[in-house]
Structure 1
Amino acid sequence: MIGSGAYNYINVLDRAADAGWLRNEAISNNIANKDTPNYKRKDVNFESYLMSALTGDGSLDENVANLDLSTINGTTYTEYSNLSYRYDGNNVDISTETAELAKNQIRYNTLIDSINQEFSRIKAVLTR
């Protein structure tokens, strides 16, 4: 994390990318355990934490500037722990997992592109 106000958006994007990486690991673990009896699907909660931290009375710029990123982390949780799709107690659906993996990879790549664009903007300002 970069400790300057000029990098507030980059820091938020970086934290979101970290959560995306964590979600990718959770989904990959779900796929690896698709045949493990009694395994329950895992997912990551991050977006709701970020949205609640960014809502406030000020503008988005003010909310991002005042955001304490140390309090916003992605957390892994077990999804539908009482639900099973199969007789062996497993609730991993491989079709859902591959779709979620593709969605997460697109989201992650978009975040990385956004970080690169922010650095390009800063570089453009500094070189003029």
Structure 2
Amino acid sequence: MNLFGGTISSLEKGLSYATLNHKTIANNIANVDTPNYKAKSVSFKDTLANEQRQLFSAYRTDNRHFDFTIQQFTPGVHSVNGLRYRNSGNAVDMDAEQTKLAQNQIYYNALVDRVSGKLNTLNTVIKGGR
């Protein structure tokens, strides 16, 4: 029985993406003065394309069995190309990274708020509306 129609699992995947994005941005900021460091990024478009390639169906032993697909979530981190480099070869723009970090934090907090709301709804149902 799926109480929320897959909403919680979708929110969980969004949180996983936001967490990986946060780690990647924090790594870029930490390496702002590292010579020859190339900035990394997590692309939602690439992650979505990767998700669509990784769908596979279950083996059915009887025609009365329901057909379902299993989805694997493995977002990827890649180097950002086409950036201007400093003399040290570093390609991290601190202002851009801090902007991305703030945007990602807002996205993450919105997802956490939605998960919390869904779980509070479930808690209310379990308690009988009290």
TM > 0.5 between the two?
yes
Give the structure with higher Rg (CA).
2
Deviations 1:11-39 (A, max 9, x none): 11011111111111111110011111111
Which protein has the bigger helix share?
A: 1
Aligned length: 110
SS, match of residue 77 in structure 1: strand
Deviation of the 1:67 alpha carbon? 6.9
Does residue 6 (structure 1) correspond to residue 3 (structure 2)? The answer is: yes
In 1, the alpha carbon distance for the partners of 2:109 and 2:74 equals 19
* Identical aligned residues as a percent: 33
Does residue 110 (structure 1) correspond to residue 98 (structure 2)? The answer is: no
SS, match of residue 105 in structure 1: helix
Q: Relative to structure 2, which stretch is displaced further, 112-121 or 84-93?
A: 84-93
Listed as ranges, the gaps of 5+ residues in structure 1 are: 54-65
1:83 is aligned to 83
Question: Where has structure 1 moved over 4 Å in runs of 4 or more?
Answer: none
Deviation of the 1:121 alpha carbon? 1.8
In angstroms, what is the RMSD of aligned CA positions? 2.3
Listed as ranges, the gaps of 5+ residues in structure 2 are: 53-67
**Alpha carbons of structure 1 residues 87 and 67: separation in structure 2 relative to 1, 3 Å:** farther
1:72 is aligned to 73
